[in-house]
Structure 1
Amino acid sequence: MTSVVLAGIVLFALFFLLIFFGVPIAISIGLSSLAAGAMLLPFDEILIVVSQQFVAGIDSFVLLSLVFFTLAGSIMNTGGIALRLINLAKLLAGRLPGSLAHTNVIGNTLFGALSGSAIASAATMGKIMAPMQKKEGYDPSYSAAVNVASAPAGLIIPPSGTPILYSVLSGGTSIGALFIAGYVPGILMSVLIMVTAYIVAKRKGFAVSEPIRFSQAAKVVLDAIPSLMLIVVVIGGISFGVFTATEGAAVAILYAVVLSLIYRSLKWKDIPVILRDTVMFSGVILLLIGASGAMSWILSYSKLPQMLSSGILDFSGNAAVLMLIIVLILLLVGTFMDIAPALLIFTPILLPVALEFGVDPVHFGTIMSMGLAIGTITPPVGTVLFIGSKVGNVTVEQMTKPLLLFYIPVFLAFLAVAYIPALSLWLPELMGVLNK
């Protein structure tokens, strides 16, 4: 057994072993990288290299946009915006059977797209929608399942941190194109969930909402337009080159502050909490990125990604089979690892395989984002799963049966996006940002 292969075994075996014993992921990455690197270079040299790569990993201007979008999302989560979007969602759901379930799905899609957080979306929508649905006779476990299943749409529809991180890891794939590519897949997932909710509502005879007068509908739309304009301003500005992703994120902060002041939902006492949450979340992500920079160097030096990629390619020369392998790997990884570390570790391994059989890097970024987003609603590590359970006042076990039904449209949407590139690439190509 060569030292390279042995180093690879040590790298991954030690990493997963440390994770199993509850060691924080960033520390697990750093320690396993040091141990594997010591098998390839003298320890004093590898210590210097790991330190340098840690700093180099976060020395990126683009990563500022990750911090700024996080801050903008935290500002939006303070209130005011969510209720207006729920009113719009109720209007869009119309008089469909089980309209409150559809309202939950649309609300998650809209608020998740603005906040960039599936956790914030599930928590906010769950707190508001669960009591309303219980009052209308919905089973609490079913309501919680709808809320959980639809929450990841906000991670796929921009702006969110996943495309930004993928852009850095993939060597500079256009953030504008990645953002635009997420719209159709995210909406497709939400629509398929709504189709499933419609079928359930027809079978169980769920209530239909009362009709809304035109004057009320006009007020709801006008109230929601300022919030929705954030997406138009930020994503449009980035896509058409008016400003960079980092500048767009700063614009998002300014817009969110002004909007919150207009809505009078932002108070002085909220600001320290918002800044603390932003610093804590961003610090964790940047620590992960720095540690993963060291791991990426070890992988590159040992040529392990090339070896693993060759192994996957040797398994089959059929593009459809290789895509299925990637889909299954992402779903499996997502069940026990959060999005950021999974993206950091598996992008260097899986991207070369995808490029080898002709997958566009923007399309593959959407596949990575969607596959790992699904992991947030699957056990055992699904953070959204546990948040949705808590705000819905049900146990995960009670929620499992109805949630299994909603996994079907979620997985179908993922397979469609993986095997039909046009779902991701049509809109960026139409807007002329695909090759920018």
Structure 2
Amino acid sequence: MGDVASIIWRALPSMFLVFVVIGGIIGGMFTAIEASGVAVIYSLLLAMCYRTLTLKSLIKTLYDSALSTAVILFLISCSGLMSWSMTFASIPDIVGEMLVAVSDNKYVILLVINITLLLVGVFMDMAPAQLIFTPILYPVVIGLGVDPVHFGIIMIYNLSMGIVTPPVGTVLFVSCGISGEKITNVVRPLLPIFLVQFIGLLLVTYIPVLSLGLPKFFGLIN
């Protein structure tokens, strides 16, 4: 029991990181993005206190972080060029017109939107895709009676699948960079997971209660 108590006591500062991050976000002290920076600083202080971080390992960590950041920025820049090209070619406007012309059935339109966003997410990063397609798709789905919160969840679900699929999947590239695995070795085992995610996307799309049940229960939306 003495050893267990000693281990738990030494692990408490590390476990407290969860409360710092979640508590800071909920308490409004910082945003979710800023929380990552807070977590890095907190982890750095812990490593210094535990004396597990040497100057050599710190330099290597900074070097690896710089490489990973460079990969992400390069992918985002390529995605930005793609978004500019699509905007210049009026592709978003064409997509919006096609959606209206395809059908007036809500379920068919939602299926077409899902397919469109899945294709867009493969070639574009989430942020530019949201900025470009939200103003186009939002009036269409609202006109069909889709709840705005429900549509937002559908869109984020779609584009989140894109960040783990090549050629622009930033999360996939970063994960492979950290693990040292090749993209070609990772994609094939992920295919069954993509299938499960697609099934989950259809469930979220056509069963609104999965998205709106909790917010309505707590009175956050009508």
| TM-score for the superposition, normalised by structure 1 | 0.37
Distance 1:304 1:382, change over 3 A: closer
What SS does the corresponding residue of 2:28 show, helix, strand or coil?
coil
What SS does the corresponding residue of 1:335 show, helix, strand or coil?
helix
Kept in 2: contact 1:331–1:372 (CA 8 A): yes
Once residues 167 and 118 of structure 2 are traced to their aligned partners in structure 1, the CA distance between those partners, rounded to angstroms, is 12
* Counterpart for residue 327 of structure 1: 114
What SS does the corresponding residue of 2:116 show, helix, strand or coil?
helix
Q: Deviations over 1:12-44 (max 9, x none)?
A: xxxxxxxxxxxxxxxxxxxxxxxxxxxxxxxxx
* Counterpart for residue 312 of structure 1: 99
Write the letter of the residue equivalent to 2:112: I
Kept in 2: contact 1:285–1:340 (CA 8 A): no
2:195 maps to 1:405? no
Superposed displacement of residue 408, structure 1: 2.9
Identity %: 40
Relative contact order (alpha carbons < 8 A, sep ≥ 6): 1 or 2 greater?
1
Write the letter of the residue equivalent to 1:269: I
Kept in 2: contact 1:288–1:341 (CA 8 A): no
* Counterpart for residue 415 of structure 1: 202
Once residues 391 and 247 of structure 1 are traced to their aligned partners in structure 2, the CA distance between those partners, rounded to angstroms, is 22
Superposed displacement of residue 262, structure 1: 4.1
Distance 1:218 1:316, change over 3 A: farther
* Counterpart for residue 258 of structure 1: 45
* Counterpart for residue 273 of structure 1: 63
Superposed displacement of residue 269, structure 1: 1.7
Kept in 1: contact 2:72–2:174 (CA 8 A): no
* Counterpart for residue 354 of structure 1: 141
Unaligned runs of 5+ in 2: none
Distance 1:279 1:378, change over 3 A: closer
Once residues 389 and 286 of structure 1 are traced to their aligned partners in structure 2, the CA distance between those partners, rounded to angstroms, is 17
Superposed displacement of residue 354, structure 1: 3.3
Once residues 320 and 425 of structure 1 are traced to their aligned partners in structure 2, the CA distance between those partners, rounded to angstroms, is 17
Distance 1:426 1:336, change over 3 A: same
Write the letter of the residue equivalent to 1:409: V
Once residues 393 and 271 of structure 1 are traced to their aligned partners in structure 2, the CA distance between those partners, rounded to angstroms, is 15
1:107-118 equivalences in 2 (<5 Å):
none
Distance 1:297 1:263, change over 3 A: farther
Write the letter of the residue equivalent to 1:261: M
* Counterpart for residue 130 of structure 1: none
Once residues 35 and 181 of structure 2 are traced to their aligned partners in structure 1, the CA distance between those partners, rounded to angstroms, is 39
Superposed displacement of residue 372, structure 1: 2.5
Distance 1:339 1:226, change over 3 A: farther
Aligned residues: 218
Superposed displacement of residue 321, structure 1: 1.6
2:157 maps to 1:370? yes
Superposed displacement of residue 328, structure 1: 1.2
Q: Deviations over 1:183-226 (max 9, x none)?
A: xxxxxxxxxxxxxxxxxxxxxxxxxxxxxxx9999888877765
Once residues 391 and 241 of structure 1 are traced to their aligned partners in structure 2, the CA distance between those partners, rounded to angstroms, is 31
Kept in 2: contact 1:288–1:340 (CA 8 A): no
Q: Deviations over 1:309-335 (max 9, x none)?
A: 343133222222221111111222233
Distance 1:398 1:427, change over 3 A: same
Once residues 336 and 289 of structure 1 are traced to their aligned partners in structure 2, the CA distance between those partners, rounded to angstroms, is 7
Distance 1:354 1:269, change over 3 A: same
1:52-67 equivalences in 2 (<5 Å):
none
